[in-house]
Chain A
Amino acid sequence: MTLLLAQLILSGLVLGAIYALIALGYVIIYKATSVVNFAQGEAVMVGAYIGLSVYSFMHLPVPLVFAITMTVAALLGVIIERVAYRRLVGAPVISLIIATLAVGLILRNVVRLIFGPNVYPFPPLIANRPLRFAGLVTTPQNLLILGVSVTCMVLLFLYFRLTKWGKAMRAVSQNGTAAVLMGISVRKVFSMIWALSAALGALAGVLLAPLLVVNPDMGWIALKAFVVAILGGFQSLPGAVLGGFALGILENLAGFYIGSAVKDIVAYVVLIAILIARPTGLFAERTGKRV
């Protein structure tokens, strides 16, 4: 019985790592711009398709696939920011949110028009025999996802604490006016933020592509990642990661011990419970009420 529980938890950790990776993308944008990026799922999807073209069609080696995909996605993120979001600075935030919705719709359709609506196979990134140990089972691909998510979080944490750009981003998210007064080019920072978020999303896309099926609607999974981001308070990167793992495990446990129908409801019930109990999320920094 405990073996079953352990398996559920292990699988939940992997699931959670996926949520966490995508949630990181949401949090980065939200921290700086207060925008909920409804197109984050499409960043994942576009990443998967770029990866598909580079890995499956052009047969480039895996590390190069990651590098190219993230770079192209980052560029795309900057272009979209320049063309669309930049002009919406100053407009009510909700306009920006709907704009991301529209961007997501456009991306889905462009991909569908180029590649067609069918699902594409994506070969595994590393040899994928199931690994069995101590009665539990997982795969190298799963471990890769776990590893990459945690590494990402650590790298991002260091980036925000130690590098010039990272500190600039934090400054901008805490107080935009003060940041300008300090000589930070807020425009450049915003571009970097959307680029970074797009690159993260694309990374998640390439990691997920062998697990899911590459199709224009694979961005659906980002909805759950949303919930995770909130659990972490939408402001906290470690919060997003912990929230991701928590939700992944919780879903598996609920699905097994209560019922599969309940599995999805769990995420949202937890969401609402947390928002009612702690409206700023589980791990939020105390920033005081914004008037």
Chain B
Amino acid sequence: MMRRHWLLYATIVLVCLPGIAKAETGVTDGAIKIGSLYAVTGANAQYGLARTSTKMAFDEINRKGGINGRKIELVIEDGACDRAKSVAAVKKLLHSDQVFALFGGVCSTAVKAATQSTIEAKVPWFVLSPAAQNIMDPFTPYVFGARPSSFDQTDVLVRASKQSNYKRIALMSSSDDYGVQARKGVEKAAPRLGLQLVAAEVHNFGDTDFTPQLLKIQAANPDAILITSYLKEIAIILRQSYELGLKAPRLATASVTTTIEKIVPKEALDNLIAVTPLKDVEDGPTFASFRQALKDAAPDLAAQPGMPDYLVIMGYYNVSIFAEGLKRAGRDLTREKFITALESINNFDTGALGGKVSFSKTDHDGLRSLGYYRYTLDKASGTLGRKFIGTIDLR
């Protein structure tokens, strides 16, 4: 029999402490409380680094006087890209912190799980870049995003293949939900554009060897290979396909960052085409001022390899869309008015995304134009160059 029950009750009390709540909707005279879900810990923590640029953007807005006379108070919670933890984080933001709305979020399964709570609570959430289709489908008025969705990314890859006259394409996709949806996207887009899918191989997240799949793809003799996976896996796939002698050019989804130039031999990157939600490459001239501002505000982040990647850039620039909605909603701020205000945004130029952002009463997927770029190896000089090719409008 437990003599010291206190330990048991102490734990319960500790957990309940944040729950002694006040009744507000996150708006006071001087401030608007915005909640943010990002991965701070866990195996996918590199996708949560955008929290720093998001904070940077909101700090900037506050320095310039806020929105309609109110400063933004940002509360960031860790979802660790884990469903259970993300749901708990969002419930804390909603019920303990009592935020007005949410901004941010990258991991598809975690965000999807957490949106169930925000939708139930009728709180608007502007997600950053979860690629899953099912985040906005079925349609809900409470979720907004200007992001590269799985289907759009693969659509661009397939169109880029067609543009380069590749008729027979092979697919290497991750087995998780991101990869599964991307695969469905390719299976939809390819026949529509008259391309033939000659091989479709699957690998698991975290795999480090892809020899059997690559040999099978090689045996099918494709004109091009589409890879829909994450940075670590894409890097190894590129290297191994080069080592095995696969000549077919590769196309990859948005997970590629500049780090890949150092992980993979130059020859393996030759002719690689990758999708990006941005209108320029991350180290291109468009983002020079952002890169400098990031170095000043967050030197540790800026010094990390591959930074800023497209997520960090989006984490900053997409705030302007969110802020525009808050501005249009006016001083008399309610959640319904905020939603209506966001829906009124049409052809908004963030200065960073591959296309102008538009919402409507029935469509909250604001970005339907993505960019793509290509790596080219100059055989003579041996230098690897990356060039932004252009954007493709998918509407």
Task: Identify the closest chain A residue to B300 (Cβ).
Answer: A116
How far apart are the CA atoms of A127 and B283 in the complex, in Å?
28
Q: In the complex, are the beta carbons of A264 and B245 less than 8 A apart? A: no
Q: Is A15 an interface residue (CB 8 A)?
A: yes
Q: Mark B295-319, 1 if CB is under 8 A from A, else 0.
A: 0000011001111000000000000
Q: Is A238 an interface residue (CB 8 A)?
A: no
B52 to chain A, nearest CB (A): 11
Chain A residues lying within 8 Å of B202, measured Cβ to Cβ, are 260-261
Q: In the complex, are the beta carbons of A121 and B215 less than 8 A apart? A: no
Q: In the complex, are the beta carbons of A256 and B259 less than 8 A apart? A: no
Chain A residues lying within 8 Å of B245, measured Cβ to Cβ, are 130, 132, 137
Q: In the complex, are the beta carbons of B231 and A255 less than 8 A apart? A: no
Whether A112 touches B45, Cβ cut-off 8 Å, given contacts A119-B305, A121-B305, A260-B201, is yes
A2 to chain B, nearest CB (A): 13
Q: In the complex, are the beta carbons of A130 and B243 less than 8 A apart? A: yes
Q: In the complex, are the beta carbons of B263 and A255 less than 8 A apart? A: no
How far apart are the CA atoms of A52 and B215 in the complex, in Å?
31
Residues of B307-344 contacting chain A, CB below 8 A: 307
How far apart are the CA atoms of A15 and B210 in the complex, in Å?
10
Other-chain residue from B41, B204, B235, B301 in contact with A213 (beta carbon distance below 8 A):
B235
Q: Mark B72-87, 1 if CB is under 8 A from A, else 0.
A: 0000000000000000
Q: In the complex, are the beta carbons of A8 and B215 less than 8 A apart? A: yes
Chain B residues lying within 8 Å of A254, measured Cβ to Cβ, are 212
**Range class of the B interface residue count:** 35 or more
Task: Identify the closest chain A residue to B201 (Cβ).
Answer: A260
Chain B residues lying within 8 Å of A287, measured Cβ to Cβ, are none
Q: Is A144 an interface residue (CB 8 A)?
A: no
Q: In the complex, are the beta carbons of B304 and A212 less than 8 A apart? A: no
Whether A117 touches B211, Cβ cut-off 8 Å, given contacts A4-B219, A130-B245, A137-B244, is no
Whether A119 touches B209, Cβ cut-off 8 Å, given contacts A130-B242, A261-B175, is no
Q: In the complex, are the beta carbons of A121 and B263 less than 8 A apart? A: yes
Q: In the complex, are the beta carbons of A4 and B45 less than 8 A apart? A: no
Residues of B237-272 contacting chain A, CB below 8 A: 239, 242-245, 259, 262-263, 265
Q: Is B159 an interface residue (CB 8 A)?
A: no
Q: Is B102 an interface residue (CB 8 A)?
A: no
Other-chain residue from B211, B232, B301 in contact with A215 (beta carbon distance below 8 A):
B232
How far apart are the CA atoms of A11 and B259 in the complex, in Å?
26
How far apart are the CA atoms of A213 and B305 in the complex, in Å?
12
Chain A residues lying within 8 Å of B301, measured Cβ to Cβ, are 116
Q: Is A235 an interface residue (CB 8 A)?
A: no
Task: Identify the closest chain B residue to A130 (Cβ).
Answer: B243
Other-chain residue from B175, B206, B231 in contact with A119 (beta carbon distance below 8 A):
B231
Q: In the complex, are the beta carbons of A116 and B304 less than 8 A apart? A: yes
Q: In the complex, are the beta carbons of A211 and B208 less than 8 A apart? A: yes
Q: Is B291 an interface residue (CB 8 A)?
A: no
Q: How many A residues face the partner with a CB closer than 8 A?
A: 40
Chain A residues lying within 8 Å of B304, measured Cβ to Cβ, are 116, 118
Chain A residues lying within 8 Å of B215, measured Cβ to Cβ, are 4, 7-8, 256
Residues of B207-225 contacting chain A, CB below 8 A: 207-209, 211-213, 215-216, 219
Q: In the complex, are the beta carbons of A260 and B45 less than 8 A apart? A: no
A98 to chain B, nearest CB (A): 20
Interface centre among A117, A216, A253 (most CB of B within 10 A): A117
A126 to chain B, nearest CB (A): 13
Q: Is B43 an interface residue (CB 8 A)?
A: yes
Chain B residues lying within 8 Å of A120, measured Cβ to Cβ, are 259, 305
B374 to chain A, nearest CB (A): 21
How far apart are the CA atoms of A166 and B208 in the complex, in Å?
33
Other-chain residue from A11, A211, A213 in contact with B211 (beta carbon distance below 8 A):
A11
Chain B residues lying within 8 Å of A122, measured Cβ to Cβ, are 263
Chain B residues lying within 8 Å of A177, measured Cβ to Cβ, are none
How far apart are the CA atoms of A254 and B263 in the complex, in Å?
28
B205 to chain A, nearest CB (A): 9
Interface centre among A118, A253, A256 (most CB of B within 10 A): A118
Chain B residues lying within 8 Å of A128, measured Cβ to Cβ, are 265
Residues of A156-183 contacting chain B, CB below 8 A: none
Chain A residues lying within 8 Å of B232, measured Cβ to Cβ, are 119, 212-213, 215
How far apart are the CA atoms of A263 and B211 in the complex, in Å?
11
Task: Identify the closest chain A residue to B45 (Cβ).
Answer: A117
Q: In the complex, are the beta carbons of A119 and B259 less than 8 A apart? A: yes
Q: In the complex, are the beta carbons of B46 and A118 less than 8 A apart? A: yes
Q: A15-B209, A264-B204 are in contact. List 19 more A-B contacts (CB 8 A).
A: A4-B215, A109-B41, A116-B304, A117-B49, A119-B46, A119-B235, A119-B305, A132-B245, A139-B243, A211-B208, A212-B232, A215-B232, A217-B43, A217-B206, A253-B212, A254-B212, A255-B211, A256-B212, A260-B216
Chain B residues within CB distance 8 Å of chain A: 41, 43, 45-46, 48-49, 175, 201-204, 206-209, 211-213, 215-216, 219, 231-232, 235-236, 239, 242-245, 259, 262-263, 265, 300-301, 304-307
30 pairs, A vs B, C-beta closer than 8 Å: A4-B215, A4-B219, A15-B209, A109-B41, A112-B41, A116-B46, A119-B235, A119-B263, A120-B305, A121-B262, A122-B263, A130-B245, A137-B243, A138-B243, A211-B236, A212-B236, A213-B232, A213-B235, A213-B263, A215-B232, A220-B206, A221-B208, A251-B212, A252-B211, A255-B212, A256-B216, A260-B212, A260-B213, A261-B202, A263-B212
Chain A residues within CB distance 8 Å of chain B: 4, 7-8, 11-12, 15, 109, 112, 116-123, 128, 130, 132, 137-139, 211-213, 215-217, 220-221, 251-256, 260-261, 263-264
